Amino acid sequence: MQASFPAVVISGTGLYRPPHVITNAELVAAFNAYADLQNAEHAAAIAAGERQPLTHSSVEFIEKASGIKQRYVIDKAGVLDPARMYPRFEPRPDEQLSLMAEIAVDAARKALAQAGKTGADVDAVLCSSANMQRAYPAMAVEIQQALGAGGYGFDMNVACSSATFALEQAVNAVRTGSARCVLVVNPEITSAHLEWRDRDCHFIFGDVCTALIVERADTATGADQWEVLGTQLVTQFSSNIRNNFGFMNRAEDRDPNDRDLTFYQEGRKVFKDVVPMAAAHIEGHLAKLGLEPTQMRRFWLHQANQGMNQFVIRKLVGGEAGSEIAPLILDEYANTASAGSIIAFHHHRADLAAGDTGVICSFGAGYSIGSVVVKKR
């Protein structure tokens, strides 16, 4: 019955990029200074064999294992302070726009401008992100008000797949008529949930916010429109990427510094599990639409690991994942959770022509995989 639904397009994208860059060299210097401080503080326990010394991190390892060269962050000083190792944000009064809403509004305004729309044209706001700044009121409702949008807003979280899962909700809302123009925002303040003191993962994340405008094709006036041919989502439970932070921590008498209250993962297991899942998911989704992977002009993939994307592309089209097929943005942005595939779409679509098709695909914690097949109009 799909044929009776109106065509839906992505008519604008926007990107908030934080002001500060942390290079791998700066990051490693801060981590190594932290490790030296810790080892000096615990020298007696280390000498007595009661504690293992912390080992230095290395730029070479980070670049070889992940492809990440730098990341953007909202606060640099706190992250690089070896006596702190996490960002410092000023608490804001309830009357002031919250930080997460602020970066979402910035990205949203850019996406709206590209789509030739204003906030008043929007009648649904989905704020979808791996971490929310607070429990309630929903971030989306604050963003809705700041933009002068109507309709409704709600928050959702599917970790690194938050953006693609939100895109499906947006597309369905427009198709079925519950909204005419949906704003999807993905504010990812990953610096606040990354454990910068853990050598295994301190290099992984960066801050950013992406925004997308989803509307009926017959209301779209922007110059750059991408018809959504289909969306497909899948989840399969795994604890290999996990964060146990939550509202019950206080009741559990937890130390807020407990290691499992920030991001942790079994990176190698994730790599092995997710590559075949993602490739099969994309292939299955395309087959349902009567399409072949080799017909795709571009794959805008999740940005966690350069090697992972190369394996996915090799499984799909049998060749190397050059920037023409699967552009990488993680060298510049690092892993930005749900925003990664959207940043790739934002930066790397201008060269495609009318009729060209491609796949936006995320993969991450849950596990969760979401694919969105789009065609340039």
Ligand X SMILES: CC(C)(COP(=O)(O)OP(=O)(O)OC[C@H]1O[C@@H](n2cnc3c(N)ncnc32)[C@H](O)[C@@H]1OP(=O)(O)O)[C@@H](O)C(=O)NCCC(=O)NCCS
Active site (catalytic) residues: 160
Distance CA 300, CA 308 (A): 13
Chain position carrying tokens 């989306």: 140
Distance CA 179, CA 124 (A): 6
Distance CA 70, CA 22 (A): 6
Choose which of 32, 58, 238, 244 interacts with ligand X (CB under 6 A). Answer: 58
Chain position carrying tokens 């610096």: 191
Residue 180 makes contact with ligand X by CB under 6 A? no
> Least distance in Å: CB of 270 to ligand X?
4
Stretch that binds ligand X, among 113-121, 176-184, 266-274, 316-324 (CB under 6 A): 266-274
Residue 66 makes contact with ligand X by CB under 6 A? yes
Cis peptide before 367 (omega within 30 of 0): yes
Residue 29 makes contact with ligand X by CB under 6 A? no
Choose which of 13, 161, 243, 265 interacts with ligand X (CB under 6 A). Answer: 265
Distance CA 299, CA 307 (A): 15
Pairing of β 298-301 and β 357-364: parallel
Q: Which is nearer to ligand X, 143 or 278 (CB)?
A: 278
What backbone torsions phi and psi does residue 39 show, to the nearest 5 degrees? -65, -35
Residue count at the site for ligand X (CB under 6 A)?
A: 21
- Start-end of H helices in 325-374: 330-333, 340-347
Stretch that binds ligand X, among 55-63, 208-216, 287-295, 326-334 (CB under 6 A): 55-63
Residue 270 makes contact with ligand X by CB under 6 A? yes
Nearest to 140 by CA among 166, 158, 118: 166
Q: What is the per-residue binding string for ligand X in 214-233, x denoting contact by CB under 6 A?
A: --------------------
Residue 65 makes contact with ligand X by CB under 6 A? yes
Side-chain-side CA neighbours of residue 116 (13 Å): 9
Terminal alpha carbon distance of the chain:
23
Name residue 246's amino acid.
Answer: G
Choose which of 96, 120, 200, 289 interacts with ligand X (CB under 6 A). Answer: 200
Distance CA 211, CA 370 (A): 17
Find the binding residues for ligand X in span 142-171 (CB under 6 A). 160
Stretch that binds ligand X, among 33-41, 117-125, 264-272, 281-289 (CB under 6 A): 264-272
Task: Render the burial of 235-250: b for 16+ CB within 10 Å, e for the rest.
Answer: eeebebbebeeeeeee
Q: How far is CA 243 from the centre of its chain?
A: 16
Three-state secondary structure call for residue 199: coil
Residue 133 makes contact with ligand X by CB under 6 A? no
Name residue 288's amino acid.
Answer: K
Q: Which is nearer to ligand X, 181 or 365 (CB)?
A: 365
Residue 185 makes contact with ligand X by CB under 6 A? no
Stretch that binds ligand X, among 7-15, 146-154, 242-250, 303-311 (CB under 6 A): 303-311
Q: Which is nearer to ligand X, 113 or 277 (CB)?
A: 277
> Least distance in Å: CB of 356 to ligand X?
28
Q: Which is nearer to ligand X, 173 or 274 (CB)?
A: 274
Residue 268 makes contact with ligand X by CB under 6 A? yes
Stretch that binds ligand X, among 142-150, 262-270, 281-289, 354-362 (CB under 6 A): 262-270
Choose which of 187, 364, 366, 370 interacts with ligand X (CB under 6 A). Answer: 364
Q: Which is nearer to ligand X, 14 or 364 (CB)?
A: 364
- Is the Cα dihedral 359, 108, 163, 191 positive or negative? positive
Residue 61 makes contact with ligand X by CB under 6 A? yes
Q: How far is CA 119 from the centre of its chain?
A: 23
Q: What is the per-residue binding string for ligand X in 311-340, x denoting contact by CB under 6 A?
A: ------------------------x-----
Contact positions toward ligand X, by CB under 6 A? Answer: 57-58, 61-62, 65-66, 160, 199-200, 241, 265, 267-268, 270-271, 304-305, 308, 335, 364-365
